[in-house]
Amino acid sequence: MEMLKEETKLENEYTHIIASAKINYKGETYNLSGLGPFHSDANREIRKSSYEARFSFFEEHANELDNLYDNMVKLRTEIAKKLGFNNYIELGYARLGRTDYGANEVEGFRKQIVDYIVPLVQKLNKKKKEVLGLDKLYFYDSILFKDGNPKPQGSPNDLVEYAKKMYNELSPATGQFFEMMVNENLIDLVNRQGKMGGGFCTAFPTYDRPYIFSNFNGTAHDVTVLTHEAGHAFQCYSSRKQPLVEYLWPTLEACEIHSMSMEFLTWPWMDLFFKDKSEKFKYMHIVDSLSFLPYGACVDHFQHWVFENPEATPKERKNKWSELESIYLPDRDYDDLAFPKSGGIWQGQLHIYQMPFYYIDYTLAQTCAFQFWIKSQENMESAWEDYLRLCKVGGSMPFTKLTELANIKSPFSDGILKSVSEHVYKWLEGIDPESL
């Protein structure tokens, strides 16, 4: 109990350090998420200088963040040993409720990402460089179109009205669900003074109600909140009649299937939000989803190494991160940004500090969501039936049983990532981003 208390204390310290950021940028003060939109500005100078501002904050707190993580790794290892595990990896998996796969399966999955996805992302980067008309692509060139990434068109209220229309047309169940969310004030979307940052979905089981929290910032992410978090909320609401409160949600990798697949199942309505930029949004959505996989696997591989080597020094951890980056993200070039160049960028990834081993879940779920995307293009009606069936059973089954029930292949099954990514890449190849 004492050790768990200590672990929570360390986790809160991370939140505190990150939340304390008051970054001066071009005469205004921002926190880290407030700086976010500048990182994808159409102007390269703004992208680069906003990252410099971000990393100067991390540079200032480098020792603190190093020591904090070092303490966390040692403490978690001690907890695991005390409970009779060999290392924290075993306990970490148990804590996430993974009953039907282990570190070996995950390692095999990461290998598929290196073999099949990394080369595809390299091709996408080459294309991006051409589209942006750059001689060299740097880390901060995080946009896909010369005039910047597409943004939703309309006020926050407009976006909610579009979402109502969308969910009404998608199915009777989603229509009723979203009306309820709006009418009962179960969504808090708009940023305001003093409001906590971030976005999430939670639930109040006693009332059979989910809840969505976010901070709109004018980027495409505002729409993704309305589809991703609503996917989580819709699943939870659909599972409300499950007999055990533990069945309200499945394990986390399965939860992300509902949210990420909802992002795709709502594609036919994206012109409501993006108007003439909806095709740009779809292209960006797929490119980002595919490009995310190697980063997600890199974070996961790093954590396995960290907990296999709990005695490593902070310097050795940073070196290992750089080594793994060259495998998973070989095109990454930080230019002269010193902090990420020295292997420290992972310190901004909250999951590494607060939710060890969770990160791979997004890549497992993405592999499932891509299958829903493919299905929805072939037959929307049956894709929706599969999705609804999956949502209703909540967490009454483990991950790989849920994929069976949803008529999709588990990411651990042989060759699935290869065939899915080939399909996705073929779709991308048929699009000329410059003509969008």
CA distance 262 to 285: 13
In the complex with Zn ion, the residue whose CB is nearer, 231 or 294, is 231
> Does the footprint of Zn ion cover residue 259 (CB under 5 A)?
yes
To the nearest whole angstrom, how small is the minimum distance from the Cβ of residue 259 to Zn ion?
4
Residue 421 identity (one-letter amino acid): S
Q: Which residues, 6 or more positions from 113, have their beta carbon under 8 angstroms from its beta carbon?
A: 293, 294, 297, 328, 363, 417
CA distance 203 to 245: 11
To the nearest whole angstrom, how small is the minimum distance from the Cβ of residue 199 to Zn ion?
9
Distance in angstroms between the alpha carbons of the first and the last residue of the chain: 57
To the nearest whole angstrom, how small is the minimum distance from the Cβ of residue 128 to Zn ion?
26
Report residue 330: phi and psi, to 5°.
-65, -20
CA 272 to chain CA mean position, Å: 24
CA distance 96 to 275: 40
Where does this chain touch Zn ion (CB under 5 A) — which range of 20-28, 255-263, 289-297, 375-383?
255-263
Q: Which residues, 6 or more positions from 421, have their beta carbon under 8 angstroms from its beta carbon?
A: 116, 117, 120, 290, 370
Q: Which position's Cβ is nearest Zn ion?
A: 259
- Using DSSP's 3-state secondary structure scheme, residue 216 falls into coil
> Does the footprint of Zn ion cover residue 403 (CB under 5 A)?
no
In the complex with Zn ion, the residue whose CB is nearer, 259 or 410, is 259
Residue 378 identity (one-letter amino acid): E
In the complex with Zn ion, the residue whose CB is nearer, 36 or 310, is 36
To the nearest whole angstrom, how small is the minimum distance from the Cβ of residue 244 to Zn ion?
22
Where does this chain touch Zn ion (CB under 5 A) — which range of 10-18, 184-192, 252-260, 365-373?
252-260
To the nearest whole angstrom, how small is the minimum distance from the Cβ of residue 210 to Zn ion?
13
CA distance 125 to 269: 28
> Does the footprint of Zn ion cover residue 227 (CB under 5 A)?
no
Q: Are the C-beta atoms of residues 30 and 132 closer than 8 Å to each other?
A: no
Where does this chain touch Zn ion (CB under 5 A) — which range of 60-68, 76-84, 256-264, 278-286?
256-264
In the complex with Zn ion, the residue whose CB is nearer, 297 or 436, is 297
Where does this chain touch Zn ion (CB under 5 A) — which range of 95-103, 251-259, 270-278, 383-391?
251-259
**Which residue, 191, 207, 265, 198, is CA-closest to 231?**
265
CA distance 106 to 96: 14
Q: How many residues bind Zn ion (CB under 5 A)?
A: 1
In the complex with Zn ion, the residue whose CB is nearer, 47 or 258, is 258
Strands 200-204 and 187-188: what pairing?
A: unpaired
To the nearest whole angstrom, how small is the minimum distance from the Cβ of residue 324 to Zn ion?
24
Strands 200-204 and 209-213: what pairing?
A: antiparallel
Where does this chain touch Zn ion (CB under 5 A) — which range of 259-267, 271-279, 344-352, 404-412?
259-267
To the nearest whole angstrom, how small is the minimum distance from the Cβ of residue 252 to Zn ion?
8
Dihedral (CA of 382, 388, 393, 394) sign: positive
In the complex with Zn ion, the residue whose CB is nearer, 411 or 433, is 411
To the nearest whole angstrom, how small is the minimum distance from the Cβ of residue 79 to Zn ion?
27
Q: What DSSP character marks residue 195?
A: -
Which residues are bridge partners to 157 per DSSP? none
Site string for Zn ion, 105-124 (x = CB under 5 A): --------------------
In the complex with Zn ion, the residue whose CB is nearer, 77 or 214, is 214
Where does this chain touch Zn ion (CB under 5 A) — which range of 254-262, 271-279, 293-301, 390-398?
254-262
In the complex with Zn ion, the residue whose CB is nearer, 259 or 400, is 259
**Which residue, 367, 362, 364, 360, is CA-closest to 299?**
360
To the nearest whole angstrom, how small is the minimum distance from the Cβ of residue 269 to Zn ion?
20
Which residues are bridge partners to 351 per DSSP? none
In the complex with Zn ion, the residue whose CB is nearer, 149 or 259, is 259
Residues in touch with Zn ion (CB under 5 A): 259
